[in-house]
Every structure is written in structure tokens, then in C-alpha cells.
Structure 1
Amino acid sequence: MDLNTITEVVRRPADLPGADWREGDAWLAGGTWLYSVEQPHLDRLIDLTSLRWEPLVPSDTGLAIGATCTVRDLHAFEPPGEWTAGHLLATSCEAFLSSFKVWNSATVGGNICMSLPAGPMITLTVALEATYELWATDGSVRTVDAHDFVTGDNRNVLAPGEILRRIDIPARALRKRTAHRRFSLTRLGRSTVFLVGTRTPGTSDLLLTVTAGTTRPVRLAFDTMPDADALRRAVDAIPDGVWFADPNGTPEHRRHLTQHFAEEIRRELTAGGPA
């Protein structure tokens, strides 16, 4: 879509781009949502891709993902063999409802900052206990837990002009056992629910992440593997107002699916004992 209110595109922003920010601006990376609807409140775009942030930096401490890393590049990344949870990177990318153009242009950071319930990059990073590095317009930097970033449907903790710079996934989370379940109304449709369970090797803990069916990510943490009744009670304790409603499912439908898939994940991660 043509954005006919835009009068300028900043192609070479400062290394700390918040210094260029003013009211009426928008950050431009993949632009897949930005160009999909009218943006009458905007008059200037600041192109972040020219800063050439490193897309993927694996290390002994984990994986750093630049906010402008494309979904295509994340999907193509081959994680080290000891990262047993590394398959979730590709799995989450494949949960996108996207065309060829979106697949090649959409960015990890853009999907997170849109903060929609079905955002698969949110599912991935919350499930793997990531942190986000945020840059403010005054040059200050803060780090937030991925779980705390999204506060509701299309809502998050970003202040005006603040930018997501990097996602850091710790190696300890990438070494966990995982199980996931996803449901959509069609084979390539938007997620109705997307659940990921992780278990630390050598323990009987469980971290269950519930997304897509809720307006914000929900984590259910257990020091030891719960039985079926305890897990069901934990899901039932998710407040009614947190369950999401749209044409892909009612809150009741999503709660039912979550109960069903949570138990499947519990059984899968219980099987075989500590790994």
C-alpha cells in the first residue's frame, strides 16, 4: 500500500537511532505490516536495515538475534547439536501465516513488537526464556524478560520511540527438552493456540508457555512435574479476561484446547524420565 502521508525516509540513521526520533515517525525494518494498512498519523520512516545489525550470533552463552533478522534467515539457521531445543527456531518460523514476500521480508523484532496473540516469535522467545534489549530515545538501554514485554493484544511495554535492538536466548534454555502443540483452523492458518513445554535435563521440572489462545503470553512453572489434575488446575487458574476471542476461536474453545494439549505435553516430557 502507498503511504501518501510520508514526506521523508531516513536512509542513514544514527548508530543510536533513537536520537533521530520525533513525533510522526515509525521504525522501518521488514515493513510487512507497516505497508499493509493506511498510516495517516505518520509522516516519516526511519530505515533500520541500513544499520546492518548482525542477524544471528551464536556463542557459549546462547543465541543473540538482531531485531532486524528476517524470518527466512532464522529458519535457515542450523543450531549446534547440543541445543536440543534448537528445532523450535524453525518450528516457530513455520507457524507464520505468510506469503513468500512476507517470509523473506518480515523480521523477528517486527513480529514481537506487533505483539499480536498469534505472533510465533513471541511464542519462541518466551518459551526459551529470552530477554529483550530495548533502546530509548535518550540513549539509555534496558533489558526486559520476554514474558513481561507483551501486555495485551497489540500492546507492549515500549515507550514512544523506544526500539527493540536484540533478543538474547540463553544456552541453558536451548539445552532443554521440549514438546510443543499448535492448532489452527486450516493447515496454514493463524494459530488458535500455540503451547511449548520445556524440561531441564536431569530434573523433573516443567515450564509450560501458553500463547495465541491468550492476549499475552502465560507461563506455568513447576519445580517438579505436576500430575494431570495439578496441571488442569493451573490452566483453569488463568484469568477469564486473558483468553483471546476472534474468528479463529472463542475463549472457551481455546481453554479446552489448552487443557488437552497441555496434558499431551506433560505426558511427552514425562516419558523416559530425566534426560
Structure 2
Amino acid sequence: MLRNVEIISAPSILGLRHTGVEYLADSLLRAGLAKQLHAAVHHVPTLNADYNPQRDPHTQCLNPLLLKDFSLTLGKAVSEAVHFPIVLGGDCSILLGIMPALKAKGNYGLLFLDQHADFYEPIKSTTGEVADMDLAIVTGRGPMLLTNINGLRPYVKDEHVVHLGQRDQEETEKYGSQDIRETAIKCFSLTDIERNGVDQIMTSVQQYIDTLKLDGYWLHFDTDVLSDDINPAVDYRLPGGLSFEQAATIMRRLLHANDIAGMSVTCFNPTLDGDGSIAQGITACIVDCLST
């Protein structure tokens, strides 16, 4: 039996580039996501047409003003959702709309599945893409224009974040990113999962979550956390990753054991999925984890 859900299509690429990620929502909907979930679909207008490939000189980020405006629009849609919202990006910068909306309602945590730490400072980012610094921004690190929307900084505290599946540690060290392992963010890397197994890791995750006593959580699923062997349709590829079954198991256990306010799906690039099979696999994974 499926929970009552509604889908919010929010294909912003303001924190990335025009690579094809803007077609994520359309691709998963064509693969039957709304039909299988019996969900209505709401579309949030993007500002992608105004995308500027040049860094803002004050923040060193791409499109910060556009991102703030889009985030306010997306946050309103999330706040007004009647049923469990599934937000289909776009890139990971959609969290800048989601997390302030939750902060305005109460004290929420973030359960973050991603192959990347997404913890760069703008000056250390080689691109200025907010999609590689979104976790830093929602925890209060970065330019005030983005970290303090509606005076709500930080949108989530470090100790209320659980990061699962990171496998870019070597890259973060190479480029000088801040290290999430040196914060109060609870981290379970891909190496941890491979060494200890999903069941043991999820027991540890749940034990940690049980100590927090929050109003609820947001579940973020960046599809690049999946193995490169089964999902090469992402813009920044790294070897290794989770199987569909592992990802679905992790998300199902999180969804069934906790008060999850909604979930987001990001960074799948359908233009790299020639026959649509990856979109079908991601759709099946989402439907699986939402089944009760």
C-alpha cells in the first residue's frame, strides 16, 4: 500500500548547468512515477531561461539572486503541499527552497543520500555551482544571500543532518573542500556501508535519529549515490555506489521508522539515458521505498 503523495516538478538547474538535468522530472513522469504513485503533479516555474554562466563577483556563486527568488517560490509550494511531497529537481540547490520552508514550520532534520559531500565554500569551488555547496549552505555556511533566506539561518543544524553514501573524499581533499567529518554532521560513507552492510548501518542511523527528537525530517535522494554501473546518467561520475536495492532499502527504512515530511530527487540526466531504462529503474526504486 502506498502513502498519499503529490509530486512537485521543480526542474531548476540554476545551481548547475544546462546539461540535461532539467529534464529529470519529465523523464521520471514518462516512466510512470505519478501513475504508479497515484499522485497529482504540480509544476513550479523555474528561472532557467535567465541562467547566467558567470560567477557573481560578490558571492562567487552562479545565479545567487535567481536562486533566492526560485527558492522562495519552491518553498511556498512545499509549505502548501496537502499530501507527502516528492520534489523532482533539477540539481541539489533545490534544497535552498525546501529547508527554509521546513525551518519556518518547526525543527527539522535532513537525511541526505549523495555520492558527494556538497560542502564546498564558494571560493574553493572550481565552478561556482551551488549544487556542490548546497549542504554547506543549508547548514549556514556561505553567503548570507543564500544562507539566511527570510532570516532563518541555519535551515538545519549540523547535528540534525545524516549523510549517507559519500564517495568523493579524495576529490574534496584535492580541491580543499571543508570536511563534513570535522563537523557534527553524522556521516556514513560508501566505504562504511560496504564494510558493515546496509542492515548494520541503518541500525546505527536509526539509533542516532532516535536521540534527536525533532519535528520531522526531509529525505534527499541525489541519484548519483547509485552505482555508476547502473546509473552513469549523471554529470559528475565516480566509480562505485549503491545498488537500486540498497538505496531502496535505506530510504524505505528511513521513511517507515521516522516522521518524514517529504523527499527530493535530483541530478539524474535523462539525455545520458538513451533507452530510458535508468529512468525506469529510478522510478521503481522510488515507488519501492514508498510502499508500506
TM-score w.r.t. structure 1 length? 0.29
The structure having more radius of gyration, on CA atoms, is: 1
Greater per-residue helix proportion? 2
Higher relative contact order (CA 8 A, sep 6+): 2
